[in-house]
Chains A and B, each alone.
Chain A
Amino acid sequence: MCTVGGPVDIEFNERVKGKNYRCKDCGERFKGLGKRPMCPSCQSENVEEV
């Protein structure tokens, strides 16, 4: 079964690597995942990596 509460757990080297973005439309800063990041505030795709 799954290792619920147990000691066995594979440690993955590939942890989540979010990139920092800034929305060019509303200025929101966020840590994004995915190929086409989207602003969580205004849903714009007009974002840049910072």
Chain B
Amino acid sequence: MSKKSENERSGGLLARWDEMIVPLDGETLLLRGERSLLLAAKASSRFVLFIETVEDEYCQAVDPDDLVAVSMPEGGPAEQAEMMLELVRRYHTPLVVLPKDHPGTGRLSMVVSVGSQIHLSCTIQRGTHPEQHLLCSSEEFSGVSLSGVPGGVVIKNLPSRIEVVVLDAEKSAEDKQQ
């Protein structure tokens, strides 16, 4: 894992890593904040992701180096996000986009994006944006961006207080079996 320069503002309260490169293959990346978390992994295969909106169905061609990211803006168990990630990554479960102001937006504890670049924002309404380069997050993750590159993930603007953990997918599966 390499960390480049650290950009400090306001006496270090908003310290962020400008750019961090995390080697990643089949593992899952966990970014854990004080109140929220984000899970990301490589798609690992080429497949068609269906994005269902009220108006239409979009078929997005996903590449192996693209990222599948699950955001839990209020936090929760990482295992829950892992299950959602695998539903999309392994079983290619379609993504459903709610219309704006749909009452269901308030009930979503997780949101998902799939793409080569994913930008996190706390100023979008949860579950209502079909654009896969945007993902709803908590305030502590807002402004962070992830890019899938060969052999790893580039993370930009990551607040220094966010914990970065690479989960071993195989070990995690073994732990669950025991």
Contact = CB atoms under 8 A, between A and B. Distances in A.
Interface residues of B, number: 37
B116 to A, nearest CB: 9
A18 B126 CA distance: 21
A5 B59 contact: no
Contact of B138 (A1, A10, A38): A1
Nearest to A9: B125
B59 A2 contact: no
16 contacts: A1-B73, A1-B122, A3-B123, A4-B126, A5-B106, A9-B100, A9-B123, A10-B121, A12-B131, A32-B59, A32-B60, A33-B51, A33-B58, A33-B61, A38-B46, A43-B48
B7 interface: no
B62 interface: yes
Contact of B59 (A10, A14, A35, A40): A40
Interface of B: 46-48, 50-51, 53, 56-63, 73-74, 100, 103, 105-106, 108, 121-126, 128-132, 134, 136-139
Contacts of B136: 2
Chain B residues touching A, majority SS: loop
Contacts, number: 87
Contacts of B108: 4
A40 B48 contact: yes
Contacts of A39: 48
A50 interface: no
Interface of A: 1-6, 8-10, 12, 14-16, 18, 30-40, 43
A5 B103 CA distance: 7
Given A16-B131, A33-B59, A43-B47, 20 more contacts: A1-B122, A2-B73, A2-B122, A2-B138, A4-B106, A9-B100, A9-B124, A9-B125, A15-B130, A16-B51, A16-B58, A18-B56, A30-B57, A32-B59, A34-B60, A34-B62, A35-B61, A36-B63, A37-B61, A39-B48
Chain A residues touching B, majority SS: loop
Contacts of B125: 3-4, 6, 9
